[in-house]
Amino acid sequence: MTKIGIIRHGRTEWNKEGRAQGSSDIPLNEDGLFEARRLAKRLSGENWNVIYSSNLLRAKQTADIIGEKLGQLDVRLDSRIREVGGGLIEGTTEEERLTKWGSAWRDLDLGREKRESVIDRGLSFLEEIVKEHENENVLIVTHGSFIYHLLDEIVPELIREEKPKNTSVTKLLKKDDGWGTEIYNCTLHLEIEG
């Protein structure tokens, strides 16, 4: 049985400002670096074999902090787990989108990546990981919308009352009959003092 820990990267200035990031390569801010260190401390008490990360800087920085804390685990970059491409909305806030395109902006073709494309690359990545890391524990550092789309596809029964938070952990188990979930969107590491 393969265990997969899916992590959303730490916060960035664009997260703080409510800007759509998509494939824009934005670094972590100070809050994001702090969150990543807290998460790394939490994960250091667990057994992980390998870390995969999106090749976007905010995910890679988060993964590097975790890898160092877990005893210099290598971070393997994979573009298939990048954030959903945002097209023309990248860098904009909701208010700016409403002003520029109106309240139905989500229905417009603004060059955003289609759900099918996200699912295709996500499933291709997961199939390869499960095959290559059978009976291992694999960390994946990626992005909020990517996580949301992927989980909606592989564990649709999972009740998601909120979207993945920065540095949240979701743990999945690959069993013979499909995917199961241990935890979803957990950020307990941010609530602990010290």
Q: Which residues are catalytic?
A: 9, 83
Q: CA 62, CA 99: separation in Å to the nearest integer?
A: 34
Within 10 angstroms of residue 111's Cβ, the number of other Cβ atoms is 12
| In contact, 132 and 70? CB cutoff 8 Å | no
Nearest to 148 by CA among 100, 192, 184, 176: 184
The alpha helices in the chain, defined as continuous H runs, are: 13-17, 30-43, 57-69, 94-101, 115-132, 144-154
Residue 75 class from Cβ within 10 Å (0-12 exposed, 13-18 middle, 19+ buried)? Answer: buried
